[in-house]
Amino acid sequence: MFVQETHSREPPYVLQQVTTAVSNPALLDSSDLAERIRARDSEALRVVVETYLPQILRAARGGGLKPHEAEDVAQNTFATFVESAERFEGRSHVRTWIFGILYRKISETRRKLGKDRQVDDIDEVFESRFDENGTWSQPPRTADAALEAKQTRQEIADCLEAAPSKQRMAFVLREVEGLSSEEICKILEVSSTNLGVMLFRLRNRVRECLEAKWAA
Amino acid sequence: MLSCKDTAHTVSTEDVTPVSWRQRLAVRLHLMMCRHCRRYAEQIEALGEATRATFRHPPEDPSSPEAPENLAQLQSDILERLSQPSAQDDPESS
């Protein structure tokens, strides 16, 4: 029988998917992490960067940045993280803190690029699909292909492009990173009611956008 | 009976909004009886799955910062930058 070897002697390496071999993950939960970051302790910095860099890059891409923009934003996120370590007191998890910084950098970048749309008419669009009794007057159209098809991935990326940064980030943190709603609320500094509204709008906006493409 | 509009609203927010068991049951019953809402619910679910598949899959482009070699390089660049305190964030030097 094949027994999986522990790879404690190998250098840290990155797997294709979501996991990273991190040498000392327990450090992330230790009570003196903030202090060690402030002191620029090299092991603490290495564990934080090894653990979160892949997630930061993926979330930046999910948040609508191009690869080189994602790279810049990731660099700046860690720089700000260390500079602001004075204010990080370990009250929230280090991941929440880092993702909060990332979110602010992404929305700043998208605003500069003029990509952050402010007008949002999805509530009216949603309402218009029902009659006065709340029954579908325009029922959802059948998808003409399975949603996982490669072509559809591109369509989803296009449809996400039109969404406001905050909604988009909420959706990516929920669906791709699988974070709890409590943590997402802390990262985006919104109430849980607000998070529900944002996800409602994002999902309906993208669904409507895809449906329009199926009809074309 | 729960309306289609309320069902669709609950379906698209229930993963982040607390839903009472009564409401949850009403939604399940409605979905059993209404094919339009069933289709809507399937599409909301599939949208999440397709988004996960899109972004969890690293870009095939070898110049992407997520490509393994670039990631290792970026990681060491960042660590190098972080280990050198700049004058402006070192209060001792001012």
Query: What is the reported pLDDT for A18?
Result: 43
Contact B44, B27 (CB under 8 A): no
Strand partners, A205: none
Which of the listed ranges A22-36, A120-134, B47-61 does the model predict with the highest average pLDDT?
A120-134
Contact A206, B47 (CB under 8 A): yes
The answer to which of A75-84, A138-147, A161-170, B40-49 has the lowest mean pLDDT is: A138-147
Do A77 and A50 lie in a common domain?
Answer: yes
DSSP secondary structure string, B30-54?
HHHH-HHHHHHHHHHHHHHHHHHHH
In a domain, A17, yes or no: no
Question: Tokens 């899109």 belong to which residue?
Answer: B54
pLDDT digits (tens, 9 = 90+) for B55-84: 887 777 778 888 888 899 999 999 999 887
Do A108 and A58 lie in a common domain?
Answer: yes
Do A211 and A130 lie in a common domain?
Answer: yes
In which band, very low, low, confident or very high, does the pLDDT at A148 lie, cut at 50, 70 and 90?
A: low
Q: In total, how many domains does chain A have?
A: 2
Do A79 and A138 lie in a common domain?
Answer: no
A17/B56 touch (CB, cutoff 8 Å), yes or no: yes
- Give the domain CATH number at A194: 1.10.10.10
In a domain, A7, yes or no: no
Query: What is the reported pLDDT for A14?
Result: 37
Query: What is the reported pLDDT for B37?
Result: 97
What is the C-alpha end-to-end distance of chain A, expressed in Å? 54
Task: Show the domain range for A141.
Answer: 122-215
Query: B35: how many CB neighbours lie within 10 A of its CB?
Result: 11
Interface of B with A in 11-30 (CB under 8 A): 12-13, 15-18
**Nearest alpha-carbon partner for A80 in A65, A63, A61, A99:** A99
Contact A8, A1 (CB under 8 A): no
**DSSP run (H or E) holding A212:** helix A192-215
pTM: 0.84
Task: Say which amino acid occupies A41.
Answer: D
Burial A80-105 (b: 16+ CB within 10 A, else e): bbbeebeebeeeeebbbbbbbbbbbb
CA B60 to chain A, closest CA, distance in angstroms equals 11
Do A180 and A201 lie in a common domain?
Answer: yes
Do A128 and A198 lie in a common domain?
Answer: yes
CA A202 to chain B, closest CA, distance in angstroms equals 9
B chain contacts of residue A148, beta-carbon cutoff 8 Å: 46, 49-50, 53
Rounded distance between C-alpha atoms, residue B19 and residue B27, angstroms: 10
- Give the domain CATH number at A66: 1.10.1740.10
Do A132 and A208 lie in a common domain?
Answer: yes
Rounded distance between C-alpha atoms, residue A165 and residue A158, angstroms: 14
**Chain B residue with minimal CA distance to A63?**
B55
3-state secondary structure string, A77-129? HHHHHHHHHHCCCCCCCHHHHHHHHHHHHHHHHHHHCCCCCCCCCHHHHHHCC
Kindly give, in sequence order, each residue whose CB lies less than 8 Å from that of residue A154, ignoring residues fewer than 6 positions away. none
In a domain, A97, yes or no: yes
Longest dimension (CA), chain B: 71
Do A204 and A129 lie in a common domain?
Answer: yes
User: Which of these three, A86, A112, A138, is where a domain ends?
Assistant: A112
A62/B12 touch (CB, cutoff 8 Å), yes or no: no
Q: Extract the tokens encoding A148.
A: 């996982």
Is B52 within 8 Å of chain A by CB? yes
Q: Extract the tokens encoding A106.
A: 């992404």
In a domain, A2, yes or no: no
Domain coordinates of chain B in residue numbers?
A: 4-83
A130/B55 touch (CB, cutoff 8 Å), yes or no: no
Do A163 and A84 lie in a common domain?
Answer: no
Query: What is the reported pLDDT for A13?
Result: 36
Do A104 and A133 lie in a common domain?
Answer: no
Do A103 and A128 lie in a common domain?
Answer: no
Contact A73, A102 (CB under 8 A): yes
User: Which of these three, A112, A146, A176, is where a domain ends?
Assistant: A112
Q: What is the mean pLDDT of residues B10-20?
A: 94
Q: Extract the tokens encoding A42.
A: 């090299």
Rounded distance between C-alpha atoms, residue A187 and residue A189, angstroms: 6
Kindly give, in sequence order, each residue whose CB lies less than 8 Å from that of residue A2, ignoring residues fewer than 6 positions away. none
Rounded distance between C-alpha atoms, residue A50 and residue A55, angstroms: 10
Rg over alpha carbons for chain A, rounded to the nearest Å, is 20
